[in-house]
Structure 1
Amino acid sequence: MPIITSLKNRVSDRHNNKEETCWIDVDLSKPEDSDWLTSDSGLSDDLVAFLLRENFVNHRNLHDGSVLIALKVSGDKPTINPIGLVDLKIFIDANRIITIRYHPVMAIDKTYAYLDNLQSESLTGENAESKKSAHKADQQGAKVMDVFCQIVTNLIVHIEKVTFAISDQIAVLEDQYFDRGQTFDARLLLKLRGEICKTRRILAVLHNTLSIRIIDPTLLFDGEDKGALVRVSRHVDLHLENLDDLLTRIDMLQSLDDSKLSEAMSQSSFNLTIVATVFLPLTFVSGLLGMNVGGIPDTHNPWGFWGITAAMLCLAVGLWVYLYRHLQSIRLKR
C-alpha cells in the first residue's frame, strides 16, 4: 500500500468535503503500490494508464480543476541523477495530491520532514510513539496546496545547488579566458549547456503549471493558498532567469571562442595570400619562359615573342576588366 497522509481541508467553510483530504505517495517500484493505483485509486483508466507509462517532461491540465505534472530529467529509464531528482508525477484534484515515483526522491523525503515538524508542533507534550505515527495522523496545519508548494520548493532547492555549481564552472572558464588568456574545452561548454537545458525544462513545466493554477477560477483558494502559490511561482521565475543568464554567459564564451578561431583562420588565409602573391610573378615568368613556342607564327621574327606576350597580357587585362564590371553591376542590382 502507498503511504497515505491525512491533510486538512482546503477551504473548510466553503467546501463540504465528504471525502478524506490526503496525500498519497505511490512508489511504483513496489508491486503493491502499482496494484493499488490500478484497482483501488478510483482514478479513470486513461489517467491510470498515463500515470503508469514511461515518464516525460510535460504538464497536463485535466477537468474539474485537477492537474497532472510529469517531470523527467534525463535517461531512457527512471534513475537517480546528480541533482536529486528522478522521474516524478504529481496529480492534484479537489481532495488529494498523489505523487508517483520509482525511487526515493529527496524533495518527497524533505516534504515528509516538513509535515513531521508541523506534527511535532501540534503534538507538544505527547509521547514519542505518537510522533512516529505522524503520517497517519491528521495534519492540522497542512493542506493539499501546502504539500504541493513544499514539494516544488524542495525541488527548487536541489535545482539551486545545480545552478550554483554550473555558475562556478562557467566563472572558472571566464577567468581562464579573460585573465590568463587560456583556451577552454568547447565540449565542456556543450555539457554545461545540456545540464542547463535539462534543468530549465523542469522549471518551465512548474512555471506553466503554477501560472495556470494561480488564475484558475475552478480552484477554491483561500488567501493563504494563493499567497503560497505566488511565492513559489516567483522562486521558479527567479531560477528560470538565472538559468537564462547562464545560457547567455555560455553563448558569450562560445562567441568569443568562435571569433578567436575565425581570427586565426583569417590570419592563416592572409599569410597564404602573401605567399601566393610573392610567387605569382615568378610563376608567370617561369611559365612564360618555359613555353614551347615551336609552331607559333613569327617564331623566327625578333619581335614575334614580344608580340605574342603582349597579346596574352591584353587578353588577360580585358578579361579582368569585363569580369570586374560584371560583378559591379550585379552588386548594384542587389
Structure 2
Amino acid sequence: MNGLLYAYLMDGKGSAKRLDWESVNKWKPQDGPLWLHFDYTSPETIDWITSNSGLDEVVIDSLLSEESRPRAAMVDGGLLAALRGVNLNPGSDPEDMVAIRLWVEQDRLITTRRRKLLSEDDIIKAFEANQGPENTSELLVEIAGNLISRMGGTVEEFEDRTAQIEEDIIDTESYSLRSKISELRREAIMLRRHLAPQREAMTRIQTEKIAWMQDRDRVYLREITDQLMRFTEDLDSVRDRAAVSQEELSNRLAEQMNTRMYVLSIVAALFMPLGFLTGLLGINVAGIPGAEYRFAFWVFILFLCAVVILQILIFKKKKWF
C-alpha cells in the first residue's frame, strides 16, 4: 500500500517489529500496541482511513485535513491532536513548518503527514536499538519531544543572527542591514505564530484525564511543554531585539544623513557670498570697478579669501561647527 509509510508492532520492551499491509489487517489489540504512519495525500490512505479504520468521522476528517493548526481534544476515550515541527528538509525554510496529525488510543496510534519529518526517523532508529517507546503513551511523548527539541537549533540560529546584526550595526551602519533585520523579524514572527497554539495543544494534552497515559509520561510532557515555552520566549526576545536593532540602525543612518547635510549646508553658506560677488563682477556692462587695473583680479581674490575667513570666524563664534 503506497500510503502506508510505516507500521510497527511494539513489543513493550523498547523494540518493534515492522509489519506489512497484510499483517496490519490481521492485527488485534491483544497483539500489542501498533503504530501506523500514513501519507494522508495518498488515495489508498484516504480509502483505508475512511472505510477500514473504524474511526469516528470527526477523527477521520482531522487525520485527512489540510488544515493543521496545532490542537488537541479527547474523542471517545482517544486523543486527537495536530502538532507541528520545524521544516528541516533540504531546501526548505524553517518557518515553513511541517505538520503531523495523531490519533492515539491505548493500543493503537495513527499518524498522518504529507512532508517527511526527521522525528519519525529518530523513533525508528530507537526501535532498532531496542530503546524505543514501549506503548502508545510513550510513543506520543517521543513524537512530541522530537518535534519540539529539533526547534532548538533553529531558535539558536535566530539568536546568533540577531547578535551578528547588532555587531554589524556598530561596525558598518550599512543600509543593507535593513533587509537582513526585516527578514529576521519576519521569520521569527512566523515561527512564533505557529508555536503559540502548539503550546496550548501541549498543555491540553498533559492536563486531559487520559486513562491510558502514565504519570511518568505526563511529567515528560510537562518538561516538553516548558521547553516549548522557553523557545517561544526566546523568539519573543529575538523579535524585540530585532525591532530595537532596526530602530538603532534607522537613528544611526538618520544621524549620518543629518551630518552630511549639515556639512553641505556649511559649504553652501561659505560659497553663497562668493558666488554673489563673482556673479556681480562678471556682468558684461560698462563701469565694472577695476576693469582697467592690471592687479584687480588678484586684489579681488584676496578680497574673497578675506570674506571666507570672516565667515569662518563668524560660524565658529556661533558654534555652527
TM-score, with structure 1 as normaliser? 0.62
Structure 1 residue 172: Cα displacement: 1.8
Q: Say whether residues 1:81 and 2:110 are aligned partners.
A: no
8 Å Cα contact 2:59/2:103 also seen in 1: no
8 Å Cα contact 1:8/1:144 also seen in 2: no
Tell me the secondary structure at the aligned position of residue 9 of structure 2. strand
Give the Cα separation in 2 of the matches to 1:110 and 1:197: 28
- Per the alignment, residue 318 of structure 1 pairs with none
Give the Cα separation in 1 of the matches to 2:104 and 2:260: 62
8 Å Cα contact 2:37/2:112 also seen in 1: yes
1:61-100 → structure 2 map (5 Å cutoff):
61-63=73-75, 64=77, 66-71=79-84, 81-83=92-94, 85-100=97-112
Give the Cα separation in 1 of the matches to 2:223 and 2:130: 20
Give the Cα separation in 1 of the matches to 2:206 and 2:245: 38
- Per the alignment, residue 196 of structure 2 pairs with 204
8 Å Cα contact 2:85/2:150 also seen in 1: no
- Per the alignment, residue 42 of structure 1 pairs with 54
8 Å Cα contact 2:120/2:143 also seen in 1: yes
Tell me the secondary structure at the aligned position of residue 87 of structure 1. strand
Change over 3 Å in CA distance of 1:100–1:6 after alignment to 2: same
Give the Cα separation in 1 of the matches to 2:151 and 2:187: 11
Change over 3 Å in CA distance of 1:197–1:143 after alignment to 2: farther
Q: Say whether residues 1:223 and 2:226 are aligned partners.
A: no
Match for 1:67: what amino acid? L
Give the Cα separation in 1 of the matches to 2:92 and 2:99: 10
Give the Cα separation in 1 of the matches to 2:91 and 2:258: 47
Q: Say whether residues 1:153 and 2:128 are aligned partners.
A: no
1:115 to 111, 116, 127: 127
8 Å Cα contact 2:72/2:79 also seen in 1: no
- Per the alignment, residue 9 of structure 2 pairs with 6
Structure 1 residue 183: Cα displacement: 4.3
Give the Cα separation in 2 of the matches to 1:222 and 1:62: 16
Change over 3 Å in CA distance of 1:216–1:268 after alignment to 2: same
Tell me the secondary structure at the aligned position of residue 130 of structure 2. helix
8 Å Cα contact 1:66/1:93 also seen in 2: yes
Q: Say whether residues 1:52 and 2:50 are aligned partners.
A: no
8 Å Cα contact 1:90/1:100 also seen in 2: yes
**Runs of 5+ in structure 1 lacking a partner?**
10-16, 120-138, 280-334
Give the Cα separation in 1 of the matches to 2:248 and 2:261: 20
Q: CA-to-partner distance for each residue in 1:13-69, whole Å, 9 max, x for gaps? A: xxxx76853221111244322321121111122332232232332314243352321
Tell me the secondary structure at the aligned position of residue 67 of structure 2. coil
Give the Cα separation in 1 of the matches to 2:197 and 2:9: 27
Change over 3 Å in CA distance of 1:198–1:145 after alignment to 2: farther
8 Å Cα contact 1:68/1:90 also seen in 2: yes
Change over 3 Å in CA distance of 1:233–1:73 after alignment to 2: closer
- Per the alignment, residue 318 of structure 2 pairs with none
Q: CA-to-partner distance for each residue in 1:105-130, whole Å, 9 max, x for gaps? A: 111111211222226xxxxxxxxxxx
Change over 3 Å in CA distance of 1:224–1:239 after alignment to 2: same
Structure 1 residue 253: Cα displacement: 0.7
- Per the alignment, residue 132 of structure 1 pairs with none
Structure 1 residue 227: Cα displacement: 1.9
Root-mean-square deviation (Å): 3.6
- Per the alignment, residue 246 of structure 2 pairs with 254
Match for 1:160: what amino acid? G
Aligned residues: 248
Change over 3 Å in CA distance of 1:231–1:87 after alignment to 2: closer
Match for 1:153: what amino acid? G
Match for 1:257: what amino acid? L
2:39 to 10, 17, 27: 27
